[in-house]
Chains A and B, each alone.
Chain A
Amino acid sequence: MNSELQFVTAAIVDDDKIFTYGFRKLTGIKGLFDEILDFCNGKEAIDYLTDPQNSTRLPDVLFVDINMPIMDGWEFNDAFGEIKSLLPKPIAVYNISSSIDIEDINRAKKNPLIADYLLKPLNEIYLAEIYHKLQYFGKDIKIG
């Protein structure tokens, strides 16, 4: 059974070092995600995703903060839309933020590229759900 499970890589895109540290720590303790990458801002993430050298090491899911310097979450969403079709595999994108502004929430939820908008601090049960879904269904998506 276990051998059929997908190896799931998550990437966190956030300039908040403490949050990134906590994310790594929490997922480590809870055994969520098999590998974690982190990027300081949207531009670093896009650069990584579009670099052909990394094509075999792409994450399966991205958690993208909204407030970041250089390239913020909104700009990342736009940039991701442009490169999405060039990527060798599907990547789920979640926006994460502390903002409870309804405009921010709707803006993310209305974007078909974005799987969901998660409020910080992240709910570990929901994270586990995301992880398990990708573990079980990732293969089907890839084949399909």
Chain B
Amino acid sequence: MSSEVQQFSGENAAHIAHFADTGVSIWRYNIDTREVWWSTGFYQALGYQKNDIECSYSVFFDYLLYYEDRQKFLKTTLLTSNSVENSAHIRLLTKHKGYQWFQNTTKQYITETGRFIYGILINISEAKTAELKAVENETKFAEIGRIAKMGYWQIDCRTMELELSREIYDIYELNPSLPISVDELLSYFLPQHEPVIKKAIDDALQHCIPYDIELQFKTAKENIIWVKCKGIPVIDEYGRSKYLRGIFQNIDSIKKRGITMQSSINLLDDQNKRLQNFAYIVSHNLRSHAGNLKFMVDLFEETPAEHERAEIFSHIKTISQSLSATMSHLDEIVKMQAEISNGTKLLELADIFTNVISALQADIKMSGAQINTNFSNAPTVNYIPAYLESIFQNLLTNAIKYRHPERTPVINITTYKAGNEVFMAFEDNGMGIDLERYGNQLFGMYKTFHTNPDAKGIGLFMTRNQVEALGGYITVESAVNIGTKFTIKLV
């Protein structure tokens, strides 16, 4: 026996026994006899009555003690041979509240009557739960930051000391162990955005103005991404900024989706406007034919004279033809929409042009037009065949139809490249058009600007729709009596 053991007398044990009545929960285990004693407080702490459970080592170990905590319990109590105080957090099964956390502090006492282990149990469930919750919250917080790609930061306004959450380093693609200053962090923003964030932070520091801005910056690994920077000043009693804190979030995918969405919206908007214009025009056109038809039928009925009736009937015939023409225009437009689904092909411009020329042979011959082409700078283009044919045909027909009465029509068609884009210039020396007056109507449907009886006002409308449907555009320059030049960005 060591001297340490010797000094513990029965008196100490009596002291402990004294505590037994005060409600402290104590257990005692006789190492030699395996006898177990529990204080009244022990029962109370676990919520049992004395006769609810048998007071024994096996009930404690096998029933009350949570199985995962058994090793821990053994290590800190029975297996320690010295009489140093040992403490462990264990879970015990209470009568009504399930397993609860207890701090179990044990100490060995060796007296004349035998070797004892005393243990004191303190219910620490609340503290333990709070602790676990805190750890859980911290994990959750970090996880939220990771999922949202969002970090937290704080600047001490006096010292300009910077506190950053781990996620900010991740967004910067920087090593989190390296210290970094505010200015260094700001230098990662793109040159056009750096002054914006600098000014926002300055305003927040000097004038307590919060900010919420979306900017682009380049990470340490040279990835350019969109980030959301939000800062809120925390003020002291004098109303000055004490801290500036905020979030820093990688919103690249959201932003890029937003940008794509905006361009889709713009495209839809254009398409919508075109459809509306189309609906308006078709309705107007059908309405005027229908109106005239009713007009003529009414007159027919009110006119008894046979020769006059014949004349009215001839007008009814004309209206019927106009109606058919309008219907065929409608068909063309519907067909044009359907062609889109057929997709594009790599086309030789010269081949398509030759096809169109042979179809228009009669008109070209009659007008004596001289057509010069140069496709050498951009000989091919990825396009819908029917569209390219239609574009050539409409522009050629236009150029011939509106040729200058006093000179031989000369038409120059050239294609060229600018970067990846393919352009076509289509130039004539015809009558020209007053763009100041008609410019905004030129590509509208059923807009005609000359008293030419062939003018139907559908050609350029179709051309523009075809060009725009494939993501291109068409522009026009013209001078009256000099000529007209169309420039088309095909792709």
Q: Which residues of A contact B (CB under 8 A)?
A: 16, 18-19, 21-22, 25-26, 29, 40-41, 67, 69-70, 98-101, 120-121
Contact = CB atoms under 8 A, between A and B. Distances in A.
A22 B451 contact: no
Given A29-B302, A69-B448, A120 B455 contact: no
Contacts of A25: 299, 303, 308, 312
B287 to A, nearest CB: 4
A142 B351 CA distance: 69
Interface in B291-332: 291-292, 294-296, 298-299, 302-303, 308, 312, 315, 318-319
A27 to B, nearest CB: 11
Shortest 4 CB-CB contacts between residues of A and residues of B: A98-B288, A98-B287, A121-B291, A22-B295
Contact of A40 (B288, B318, B451): B451
A127 to B, nearest CB: 12
A22 B299 contact: yes
Contacts of B288: 16, 19, 98, 120
Among B291, B296, B455, max chain A CB count under 10 A is at B291
B296 A22 contact: yes
B207 interface: no
A120 B318 CA distance: 18
B292 A22 contact: yes
A21 B299 CA distance: 11
Interface of B: 280, 283-284, 287-288, 291-292, 294-296, 298-299, 302-303, 308, 312, 315, 318-319, 446, 448-451, 455
Nearest to A23: B295
Given A29-B299, A67-B284, A98 B291 contact: yes
B187 to A, nearest CB: 54
Given A18-B315, A26-B299, 12 more contacts: A18-B296, A18-B319, A19-B288, A22-B292, A22-B299, A26-B298, A41-B451, A70-B450, A98-B291, A100-B283, A120-B292, A121-B295
B295 A19 contact: yes
- The interface centre, meaning the residue of A41, A98, A100, A101 with most chain B CB atoms within 10 A of its CB, is A98
Contacts of A101: 280, 284
A99 to B, nearest CB: 5
Nearest to B315: A18
Contact of B318 (A18, A26, A70): A18
A19 B292 contact: yes
Most buried by A among B287, B295, B302: B295
B451 A26 contact: no
Which of B292, B302, B446 counts the most chain A CB atoms within 10 A? Answer: B292
Contacts of A70: 449-451
A25 B312 CA distance: 9
Contacts of A120: 287-288, 291-292
Contacts of B296: 18, 22
A121 B303 contact: no
B315 A22 contact: yes
A41 B449 CA distance: 11
Contacts of A29: 299, 302-303
A100 B312 contact: no
A98 B282 CA distance: 11
Given A120-B288, A120-B291, A121-B292, A69 B455 contact: yes
A41 B292 CA distance: 18
A69 B284 CA distance: 16
Contacts of A41: 451
B195 to A, nearest CB: 45
A69 to B, nearest CB: 5
A124 B356 CA distance: 50
